[in-house]
Amino acid sequence: MLKFQTEKEHFTNPLYLESGRILEPYDIVYETYGELNEDKSNVVVICHALTGSHHAAGLYEGERKPGWWDGLIGSGKAVDTDRYFVICANVIGSCFGSTGPMSERPPYNEPYRFKFPVISVKDMVKAQRILFDRLGIHKVKAIIGGSMGGMQALHFAVQFPKFAENIIALATTYATQPWAIAFNKVAQEAILKDPVFNNGYYDPEIIKEEGLSGMAIGRMAGHISFLSHESMQQKFGREYKRDDGLFELFGKFQVESYLEYNGYNFTKWFDPLSYLYITKAINIYDLSRGYDSLDDALGKIESNLILVSFKSDMLFRDYEMQHISKRLKLLGKKHTYINVESNYGHDAFLVELDLFEDYIKEVLDGK
Amino acid sequence: MLKFQTEKEHFTNPLYLESGRILEPYDIVYETYGELNEDKSNVVVICHALTGSHHAAGLYEGERKPGWWDGLIGSGKAVDTDRYFVICANVIGSCFGSTGPMSERPPYNEPYRFKFPVISVKDMVKAQRILFDRLGIHKVKAIIGGSMGGMQALHFAVQFPKFAENIIALATTYATQPWAIAFNKVAQEAILKDPVFNNGYYDPEIIKEEGLSGMAIGRMAGHISFLSHESMQQKFGREYKRDDGLFELFGKFQVESYLEYNGYNFTKWFDPLSYLYITKAINIYDLSRGYDSLDDALGKIESNLILVSFKSDMLFRDYEMQHISKRLKLLGKKHTYINVESNYGHDAFLVELDLFEDYIKEVLDGK
């Protein structure tokens, strides 16, 4: 059984955000697996996606499902916890312990709600870098992340060129494109218009118990973007849950049940304000912001960079990663770009580990 | 200026639906362009899509936008109204004059609402065939339709093999796949959960004036499926409506404004119950239902069949049309399959007429 430690660090120095605003004080929750070696040269950082958390691997007591990348992280696995000290922090803005919109807003005895500042992926990365500094970690073996985790990995590469030996960014992009923003828009609008959301003044306990249909609807749209036409065909076909019900208005195709279950279940474990803030962070993600151009940003990279896209990814298309690779080539920057044959869609980075875990192992082994 | 006539026919005989239920009585509204020739040999039928109507071409007094296929239908256009008598009927279940869920339910003095029977694309086609019979039209030059209009065209081909000389089906499929059902699910759920929808007991006038956010949200999801990653990139890029607002939580990317405008505007002119019923008809569309197999159904076709798909169509993928073409080839059935080079997405059949209008002209000219 994989051993892990969950810790929380409290920071009283202000976090200067990209927006010009300040977050102060703030907490960061993180989880670690494996042992830090003496010269602290065996650190691997894992960055999570939109609704992920610091719980990347291992099984919490009483839970049935392990961490979201448990297949990748553990003893003898691609990210081998017998060799590496793996650390995954919950991003600021999220709802799993790091400071987010439902955290208490000092000096008031109530949550920030909409008083929480807009955060960016750059801010998430900055906060993690400050956490690592406090932990005495000033250089890491690798930073690995998919989707919004990949955005963080790329930001680490650009902003802190000497920090990571290797950067592995999966299923991500250089700047969020309108197709992805559009899916986020559906979710944001659905949350905002739900009367139970109550303009942000909802009761989290009521939502956990009774759900929040607006967020469920938004999440259903999200799930479409996470899969692909082909994977849905293979997963669900035109299977119908009730044979006799084809002509009932609210009969159910398998795909409808899937979306309904996952949509409504989601509202039991994720916070709607965090969903609004993190989708906003994804929308405004642009690796080139603050630099003269994307080339200027990419030109800063010194880490060994590995870009992994998935051919059927409908959210961040493979040609978005190819674009980064092309720019790097023109800049004369050595890197590796892998386009994984998969028809699963975006979620392949969470599900089809066997298609890319060997690459990760090779990078960590220095091959 | 294209002349057109809008007519309504009332039917008192029962319409026997695929579900086993009956619609009785019912109305069908239709529009015609051009003149019927003496031997009635110049009829071209146009079938509309989900939210289309019988108003396929021409300009209503006081309106700024002409019918939805005005670029294709008219004097000297691909469907030349100087030569052809063009007819387009509003499908049953819709909200533009043909009988639908908000029509009066006899003998009660109130709308059907959820008492309206589930209808299928097959039923829509059957009702149109009955209309044409009444008009004394027993054979037509061509039936043309895209998306759900293409489903109707294919159903005409299979069910009434001797009725149409040519069938032109664009941007459609042989059976709706889970990817498309999933988008419909988001819309249905968003409508159903909107308190203004009031479980079907809404006031249509209030919705027209104040909108229905649930349907707007559903329509936004729809608009994603109608476009493509590439066309959104070209149309909107990452343009921001307010330069200074990037870090405002509710700032707006162009794509967000587009979705918002089109989503909310939609609720002014479309009925939510019709949206539920017609998306249901699309979900259960399966050309093979009632036949031993798809091959069995396709084997009935005697019309000259032209299948047109669009390479970037994200809703009905080009390989769905290719599948029909492959089956027809194996059956030894002559037909034409064209995969149009376009990156616009599904809406190409409404927007990029120049990419396919020549094919339609050639078919009608008998070349």
pLDDT in tens, A195-242: 999 999 999 999 999 999 999 999 999 999 999 999 999 999 998 886
Return d(Cα A52, Cα A60) in angstroms, integer.
15
Give yes or no: B346 in active site. yes
What residues 168-197 of chain A have any CB closer than 8 A to a CB of chain B? 175-179, 181-183, 185-186, 189-190, 193-195
Tokens representing B172 are 């459609």
Task: Determine which of B229, B285, B315, B322 to mutate to test the interface with A (most A C-beta atoms within 10 Å).
Answer: B229
Q: Is the pLDDT of residue B244 over 70?
A: no
The pLDDT value recorded for residue A150 is: 98
Q: Which of B177, B217, B237 sits opposite A190 (nearest CB)?
A: B217
- Phi-psi domain of A2 (left: phi exceeds 0; alpha: psi -120 through 50; beta: other): beta
Helix (H/G/I), strand (E/B), else coil: B15 = strand
Minimum CA–CA partner of B187 in chain A: A217
| Beta strand residue intervals within A51-127, DSSP E | 73-74, 79-80, 85-89
Provide the mean pLDDT of chain B. 96
Please compute the mean of the pLDDT values over residues B216-238 and round it to a whole number. Answer: 97
Whole-model pTM over 0.90: yes
Backbone angles phi, psi at B47, to 5 degrees: -110, 135
Nearest CA in chain B to A240: B284
Complex-level ipTM = 0.96
> What are the structural domains of chain A?
4-176+285-365 (3.40.50.1820), 180-280 (1.10.1740.110)
- State both tokens at A57: 């691997």
pLDDT of residue A242: 66
Burial of A202 per CB tally in 10 Å (0-12, 13-18, 19+)? buried
Which segments of chain A have a pLDDT < 70? 242-244
Contact of B31 with B5, CB cutoff 8 Å: yes
Contact A145, A52 (CB under 8 A): no
Q: Take residue B76 and report the two structure tokens written for it.
A: 């000297």
Residue whose tokens read 């291992």: A58
Least trusted range by pLDDT, from A95-104, A247-256, B179-188, B342-351: A247-256
Residue B171: is its pLDDT beyond 70? yes
Å from A4 to nearest chain B CA? Answer: 35
Within an 8 Å CB–CB cutoff, is residue B280 touching chain A? yes
pLDDT tens digits for range B264-277 = 999 999 999 999 99
In chain A, what residues touch B260 (CB-CB under 8 Å)?
185, 189
B45 to A20, B73, B133, B174, B353: CA distances (angstroms): 60, 11, 13, 20, 18
Tell me what pLDDT residue A2 has: 87
Kindly report, residue by residue over A293-314, the tens digit of the pLDDT.
999 999 999 999 999 999 999 9
pLDDT at B243 over 70: no
